[in-house]
Amino acid sequence: MKILKTNGELLIDLPQFDNIKDAVMHCVLNEINLSYADLSDANLSDANLSYANLRGADLSCANLSDADLRGANLRGANLRGADLWGADTQYCYRFGHFSKLGGRCCFYYKPIETEPIYIIVAGCFSGTLDEFEEACKYTHPNDPAQAYEAQIAYLRTILK
């Protein structure tokens, strides 16, 4: 089992673990820096990653459902396509939740610190706020409540 940095440099080799989740949790418990680790497609559901340094990590398409990410450093992390359903992201940098009454919990995050863009993650959707608005209008053309109109207006005011 190897956890690699995105530039290919070996970060840690943990052959005693059968899966990436156990290896990552070992790293978190032992305060091993996971910044820039390639964790794409990893199954990290229910993992305790609180206060982990995941800065710049590739978490694309990772299963983070019900993971404890409280206080984790996700600055510059790639979360595109990641499953964040039920994940606790309290105190994460540039990361927040929004939902509508009776609706799913959705997330927004800033993938690159210096860029003005935020990514919206809602169910299987992942894209910019403009793309999210268009997708909602297309999916729910006659129902402003289903189209997240109020949430989109709110996000436009806070994500400047």
pLDDT single digits (tens) 116-159: 788 888 877 878 999 999 999 998 888 877 778 888 999 999 88
Fold of 1-93: Pectate Lyase C-like (2.160.20)
Give the Cα separation of 40 and 82 in Å (integer). Answer: 9
Give the Cα separation of 114 and 111 in Å (integer). Answer: 9
Q: Write down the pTM of the prediction.
A: 0.69
Q: At what angle do helices 149-158 and 129-139 cross, to 10 degrees?
A: 170
Give the Cα separation of 94 and 103 in Å (integer). Answer: 22
Domain ranges of the chain: 1-93, 96-160
Tens-digit pLDDT profile for residues 35-47 = 889 899 999 999 9
Using 50, 70 and 90 to split pLDDT, how confident is the model at 105? confident
